A and B are shown apart, each in its own frame.
Chain A
Amino acid sequence: MHVVSPIRETLVLNGKTYHDVTEDICKQVEGKPTKEWKIVFGISVLVLLYGAAWVFWTWWEGLGVWGLNKTVGWAWDITNFVWWVGIGHAGTLISAVLLLFRQKWRTSINRAAEAMTIFAVICAASFIVMHMGRPWLAYFALPLPNTFGSLWVNFNSPLVWDVFAISTYFSVSCLFWYIGLIPDLATIRDRATGTRKKVYGALAIGWTGGARAWARYEDVSLILAGLSTPLVLSVHTIVSFDFATSVIPGWHTTIFPPYFVAGAIFSGFAMVQNLMLVTRVVYKLEDYVTLEHISLMNKIITLTGSVVGIAYITEFFIAAYSGVEYEQYAFINRATGPLWWSYWAMMTCNVLSPQLFWFKKVRENILVSFVMAVVVNIGMWFERFVIIVTSLHRDYLPSSWTYFTPRMGDISDYIFSFGFFFTAFFLFSKFLPVINMAEVKSVLKSSSEKYPEKKKVTA
């Protein structure tokens, strides 16, 4: 018997049956692309082409097309990298951590969030390759003996850890996403004919939904969630080590790993919020991604935003308390130096604005949620910019103090990543089911508003 606590909000509205779920979700995969889809997809492809031309120019001409100088050797490239990797944390977090916590509301958003994760990690990786300057030598980061003898990569270096962490995270996320897709691909296969049946049939790898397969499948999903949870935490921890293990004032802090992970969840959830708010309207999925989902996402955004806020304050306090002059200066310079505007943009967007979500009215307002999610991601971009550029631009030698101004190369290569991200997301949302049908069906009885009476069975 399914007993549902009366305080639980319903997760699927309007008394959907199992078949309704299949119809509603398969509709956009099986139908012809809509006009709206063609327009937004066309725009993303144009943006991607513009960006790709600039990325090619960056490789052809070298990193001189960026605004870097001898003092600021990392700027937008690594800012964008950390920003995208952070966004790429939400998918696995939603599907793995919320699975371990048995949060049923994850079922409507996990698929799109995982897809978004994969694309965001590809965007992040593109900046790593770009900032190498000579991307054809990217294999130097792999543990291969070099041509002059068996000199290996330095396994003591956080940059090498990063290569391992991000490639592991990327491949395990793809695997997790694909395993989640198999039953839904089988659903599409069983409804299709002709070429589509062949393609989705090959992708569904012969899934039939037998009870033994389901039992093992559930076991595999649970263990993958258990493996992915520490993995997702390790990735941003290792990204933060890129900074924390250096001796640059402002970077050399032990608070970085938890602070970065909280920031990653914060920005990732904001990006998922943005994408889902659009997807639910475009594909008419308001019954599956409800106000309850939006409100729950906003609660997590508020929580992680507050954790990030505490981290900012702690960092400042520890710098003052340490008595290290350089450390103190780095922080005073962040807040009051020539780049003060970026520090206060970060503080306003990340710490103050999510506090509005304490009000239920704000939390359940779709327009406000959308705008706030954009604001959060602007804030999180500035957080990385503040950490990277303001810590570098005034180094130990006052004669080399400088300012950073982005050039067309910086801006266009960033635009490239948006072009790629949205092109990939629109392709995904057209050709694959954006909501995990099997999982939504499994929570339908317990979380639907009114499950058709006929099928109610008591044990």
Chain B
Amino acid sequence: MADSKYLVGVFDDGDELLHAVEDIRHQGVKIHEAYTPFAIHGLDKALGYSFPRMGVAAFLFGITGTCCALLLTFWTMGVDWPINVGGKNFFPFPTNIPIVFELTVLLAAFGMSFTFFFMEDLGPTSKPIIFDVRSTDDKFVLAIDLAKNKLSENEISKLLKESGASEVNVKEI
């Protein structure tokens, strides 16, 4: 199923890759994705990605947790089976704070993480496309989809070499 042809630039250093991304994008070449063994700060910005907003997911799930916990404690303690303890309030708010806090954190953490897995298509059965196996070890890899670029293979290859790639390979997927 060789319907896409990629040029894979392999770099030895994260900073070289970061500068290469800036240079290459400046030349009008569209980059498919950069693969690195660890997070390179500023790489997402250099590739033109928008700021990750996982916090939105965390907030929405968190507020759901807060509401569920309040509903649970209020309904059980205040409505369904109120217990009279020395004439005190059936639903004293402060004593519910621990439960509300814990459920907020629980839902925020799991909700956000599973949103992340979903967005990145991560799951035990997902089949990743690996351009170079060394990209999880010590190499910094740049993949360029030739079909989506106007420049020829040789021109992009030259550009990659000039910006510091130690190897340029072709990969068909």
Contact = CB atoms under 8 A, between A and B. Distances in A.
Find the residue from B43, B49, B92, B105 having the highest chain A CB count within 10 A: B105
A150 B76 CA distance: 8
Interface stretch (A4-12, A153-161, A422-430): A153-161
Given A19-B137, A211-B33, A217 B110 contact: no
Contact of A223 (B44, B112, B119): B112
B15 interface: yes
Interface string B1-36: 000000000001111100100000000000001111
A224 B72 contact: no
B155 interface: no
A214 B112 contact: no
A323 B136 CA distance: 65
A406 interface: no
B87 interface: no
A183 B117 contact: no
A171 B110 contact: yes
Interface residues of B, number: 66
Contacts of A223: 54-55, 58, 108, 112
Contacts of A168: 102-103, 105-106
A17 B139 CA distance: 11
A135 interface: no
Interface stretch (A44-52, A199-207, A263-271, A334-342): A199-207
A211 to B, nearest CB: 4
Contacts of A441: 37-38, 138
Contacts of A145: 80
Interface of B: 12-16, 19, 33-40, 43-44, 47, 49, 52-55, 58, 72-73, 76-77, 80-81, 83, 85, 92, 95-96, 98-99, 101-103, 105-106, 108-110, 112-113, 116-117, 119-130, 133-138
Find the residue from A143, A442, A459 having the highest chain B CB count within 10 A: A442
Contact of B34 (A153, A164, A210): A210
Contact of B106 (A171, A203, A210): A171
Contacts of B129: 208
Interface in A164-194: 164-165, 168, 171-172, 175-176, 179, 182-183, 186-187, 189-191
Given A210-B35, A223-B55, A455-B12, A172 B128 contact: no
A22 interface: yes
B52 A156 contact: no
A309 B15 CA distance: 48
- Residues of A in contact with B, size category: 35 or more
Contact of A191 (B53, B58, B137): B137
Find the residue from A143, A190, A228, A438 having the highest chain B CB count within 10 A: A190
A208 B34 CA distance: 10
Nearest to B92: A156
Contacts of A150: 76, 80-81
Interface in A219-259: 219-220, 223-224, 227-228, 230-231, 234, 238, 241
A110 to B, nearest CB: 14
B106 A190 contact: no
Interface string A67-102: 000000000000000000000000000000000000
A212 B137 CA distance: 18
A367 interface: no
A60 interface: no
15 contacts: A161-B98, A168-B105, A171-B106, A183-B38, A207-B122, A211-B40, A211-B47, A211-B49, A219-B55, A220-B113, A230-B101, A441-B138, A454-B12, A455-B13, A457-B13
Nearest to A26: B137
B72 A143 contact: yes
Contacts of A231: 102, 105
Interface string A441-459: 1100100000000110101
A419 to B, nearest CB: 30
Given A165-B98, A207-B122, A210-B34, 9 more contacts: A155-B95, A202-B125, A206-B122, A214-B43, A215-B43, A227-B108, A230-B101, A441-B38, A455-B13
Contact of B113 (A158, A175, A190, A459): A175
B65 to A, nearest CB: 10
B33 A210 contact: yes
Given A175-B113, A438-B38, A206 B106 contact: no
A186 B103 CA distance: 31
Contacts of B99: 155, 160-161, 164
Contacts of B13: 455, 457
Given A143-B76, A205-B117, A211-B34, A18 B123 contact: no
A442 B38 contact: yes
A439 B124 contact: no
Contact of B136 (A158, A183, A217, A241): A183
A183 B120 CA distance: 13
Given A215-B52, A217-B116, A227-B58, A172 B106 contact: yes
Contact of B124 (A205, A208, A216): A205
A161 B121 CA distance: 35
